[in-house]
Amino acid sequence: MGDANGTNPVKDIETRLFINGEFVESSNGKTFNLYSPKTLEVVAKVHEASEEDTDRAVAAAKAAQPAWAALSVEQRSSYFKKLAQLVREHNDELAHLEALSMGIPVSTYFHAHAFSRVFDHYSEAGYTPQGTSSLNTPGYINLTLRQPYGVVAAIIPWNVPLLFFAKKVAPALAVGNTVVLKSSEKAPLTSARVAHFVKEAGFPPGVINVITGFGNVSGSVLSHHMDVRALSFTGSTRTGRRIQEAAAKSNLKPVFLELGGKSPAIIFDDADLDKAAEATQYGVQSNSGQVCMANTRIYVQDTIADKFIETFKHKFGSAVIGDPHSHETNHGPQVDKVQYEQVLRYLEIGKQDGKLLIGGESPSEHTGYFVNPTIFLDTPEDSRIMKEEVFGPVVNINIFKTEEEVLAKANDTEYGLYASVFTKNIDRAMKFAKGLEAGTVSVNCSSPTTAFDTPFGGYKGSGIGREGITHSMDNFLETKSVHIKI
């Protein structure tokens, strides 16, 4: 295991499934190889959940749910506090585990703190689901009760595993559901490690089950499962469609889908160019561009285009590429061979359709799935690289003249997750906040993925439903009407 600074705190790697409070091997003995995207060596042989394992996890969650729901909010919250604390204490270990599996540089790792913040929030706020009451019908008192679904499945991607673990599991549990979480086959190690903290925090067996595996078998089994009563998914639009189809063909479980993006950033001539360049550089470079919100389409107004492009190029091109375990590195490899080759294919499309300004290849001095920060200029709007999610450190910069023109271009996409606008003109900022077709719009900043106090989710092909502290709780509650004759 690489450790450029000699401080790697990873000792043992957990590769088993966590079902009903116990760590178990897969029932059919099947494991899969997990490779380091830096060294390309096998770093772990991970147990792959079979259909039987997935069924057992759902059965354990189902058995545990009534007693969990019967606890008071304060009792449930007390477990959250312990779990948040344990994860916070192990931040460095979790950072190195993630660097090992998916290549995120430890210097940029924020996922464990985000996890703890979400669980802390629920424990401190002590949420109680609120129903309503009404005396509007003569002779009756009418009430609504908010009740948990039962078993909730959470299926998460590899790019920010612990943040999605927390954003799905904490609200589902807070209102009395139990959970089966399926981590991504590309980054299963931190979720498996957190399962140890779940046990240490004393959660009753079956309340949180953590399995890993591929879409086929475990992901598909969860999506079709008749005892899974709601499903929260973060991942690609392609998989989101399959999950919705599976839900429609099984028990019509509600599905909440947080999907891909092709986010525009619009830089007007009155913007603070330095800040705009810094925010957009962070937006497309963090996690080597493997971020759903990445502002991969930058539109810059003609009068300041040269100046902005120069500043942006300098910032984006100065990435320190290298060993993700080193604290000097801020740009790691792509997660795996599949992702790397996908990015390389888009680089060829970009070279054909647009003008390459910097990058466009892998750094020859590094082994591993690295891609240099890449900028294309003046790419036609109908090019595939302007329409499809690349998920790499690749940005297209196009020049515009008028507000009408840029708004139309920004919205000309099947995605609608995120957009940003940089201007000092308040009227213009509000006009774009209203006009941009995206679930989140940032003005003069790059939105932190850890802003939990507002709902997060997509317009159009970027998803269904919203996540966020209060919105997520609503996702996991049924509403029952009760009519009482008086």
User: Per the structure block, which two tokens stand in for 41?
Assistant: 């060596």
Q: Is 26 in the site for ligand NAD (CB under 6 A)?
A: no
- Contact 187/46 with Cβ under 8 angstroms? no
- Closest separation in Å from C-beta 236 to ligand NAD: 3
H helix and E strand count, the chain:
15, 20
Q: Is 216 exposed, middle or buried (0-12, 13-18, 19+ CB in 10 A)?
A: exposed
Torsions phi, psi of 166, nearest 5?
-70, -45
**Contact set for ligand NAD, span 78-137 (CB under 6 A):** none
Q: Is 289 exposed, middle or buried (0-12, 13-18, 19+ CB in 10 A)?
A: buried
Q: With the C-alpha atoms ordered 112, 118, 124, 126, is the resulting torsion angle positive or negative?
A: negative
Q: Is 260 in the site for ligand NAD (CB under 6 A)?
A: yes
Q: Is 259 in the site for ligand NAD (CB under 6 A)?
A: yes
Rounded to whole angstroms, how far apart are CA atoms 214 and 53? Answer: 13
Q: Is 292 in the site for ligand NAD (CB under 6 A)?
A: yes
Among 57, 172, 243, 438, binds ligand NAD (CB under 6 A): 243
- Closest separation in Å from C-beta 239 to ligand NAD: 3
- Closest separation in Å from C-beta 391 to ligand NAD: 6
Closer to ligand NAD by Cβ: residue 68 or 110: 110
The C-alpha torsion from 204 through 208 and 213 to 218, rounded to 10°, is 100
Site string for ligand NAD, 200-239 (x = CB under 6 A): --------------xx---xx--x----------xxx--x
Q: Which residue lies nearest ligand NAD, judged by its C-beta?
A: 215
Q: Is 242 in the site for ligand NAD (CB under 6 A)?
A: yes
Among 258, 323, 336, 437, binds ligand NAD (CB under 6 A): 258
Among 64, 155, 208, 390, binds ligand NAD (CB under 6 A): 155
Closer to ligand NAD by Cβ: residue 193 or 313: 193
As beta bridge partners, residue 300 has 267, 399
Region of 65-73, 117-125, 154-162, 341-349 interacting with ligand NAD (CB under 6 A):
154-162
Closer to ligand NAD by Cβ: residue 36 or 290: 290
Rounded to whole angstroms, how far apart are CA atoms 143 and 135? Answer: 9
Closer to ligand NAD by Cβ: residue 8 or 237: 237
Spell out where 149-236 has E strands: 151-155, 178-183, 208-212, 230-234
Q: Is 333 in the site for ligand NAD (CB under 6 A)?
A: no
- Contact 127/473 with Cβ under 8 angstroms? yes
Q: Which of 48, 98, 258, 467 is catalytic?
A: 258
Place of tokens 């992901």: 219
User: Per the structure block, which two tokens stand in for 202?
Assistant: 């004393």
- Non-local CB neighbours of 116 within 8 Å, separated by 6+ positions: 84, 85, 87, 88, 166
Site string for ligand NAD, 346-385 (x = CB under 6 A): ----------------------------------------
- Closest separation in Å from C-beta 456 to ligand NAD: 6
| 258 carries an active-site annotation | yes
Rounded to whole angstroms, how far apart are CA atoms 480 and 474? Answer: 13
Region of 11-19, 149-157, 191-199, 271-279 interacting with ligand NAD (CB under 6 A):
149-157
Task: Summarize as ranges the residues that interact with ligand NAD (CB under 6 A).
Answer: 155-159, 182, 184-185, 214-215, 219-220, 223, 234-236, 239, 242-243, 258-261, 292, 389, 391, 417, 458, 463
Residues serving a catalytic function are 258
